[in-house]
Amino acid sequence: MAKLYFYYSAMNAGKTTILLQSAHNYRERGMNPMLFTPALDDRSDVGIIKSRIGLEAEATAFKQEDDLFEAVQNRLEDQNVHCVLVDEAQFLTREQVFQLTDVVDRLNIPVLCFGLRTDFQGELFEGSRYLLAWGDQLDELKTICHTGSKATMVVRVDDKGYALRKGSQVEIGGNERYVSVSRKEFKEVFYAGKQVRLIDPFETVVDSENERQDELLE
């Protein structure tokens, strides 16, 4: 039976890389995955899913008013769809999550959604809220806070590392930086005004001999 999967995490846990690898695995077996990405994410090009390590693939760009069930049905008129993969799934609307449940329940096609759970203020995104409520299988992808604890939240900071407490929930690009932190660190940074330690994710090295970090990443 097909299922609706939600793979969630803080930033820099490799969600997009796993999505693209999954799509590659389907294609290697002669199957056709259908990829979705929000049209508002134009960091590369609209309709392109690109990971931080350089992998990329074309995808169907969706807007909030689009019907994703209808989009899958239309694709089925031309070819089989063996799996649906959604990048940045936190930007789905409630209606679109419901449409994806119909892809699973009515078309018997598995749907794999990848996204953040909470925004920079510690609040659930709309898409994540309903994926958590309606998903068949929920899986957390783990990453590490600069403190060494498991990172579960995201904070938006200025160029000096201080939390930005106000602003639009959706902020693509710009000079702001998003940092993945533990809940304890989030409270210190967001509420107590602590300056967060900025780390370039490309330069971050997780010590494989650190038993605590190994346990968190299992």
- Catalytic machinery residues: 88
Q: Which two tokens stand for residue 93?
A: 């609307």
Structure tokens at 152: 């579960």
| Helices 94-107/126-134 angle, 10° precision | 30
CB 72 within 8 A of CB 103: yes
Q: What are phi and psi of 151, to 5 degrees?
A: -85, 130
Buried b (16+ CB within 10 A) or exposed e, 74-108: eeeeeeebebbbbbbbbbbbebbbebbbbbbeebe
The alpha carbon dihedral of 17, 116, 35, 174 has a sign of negative
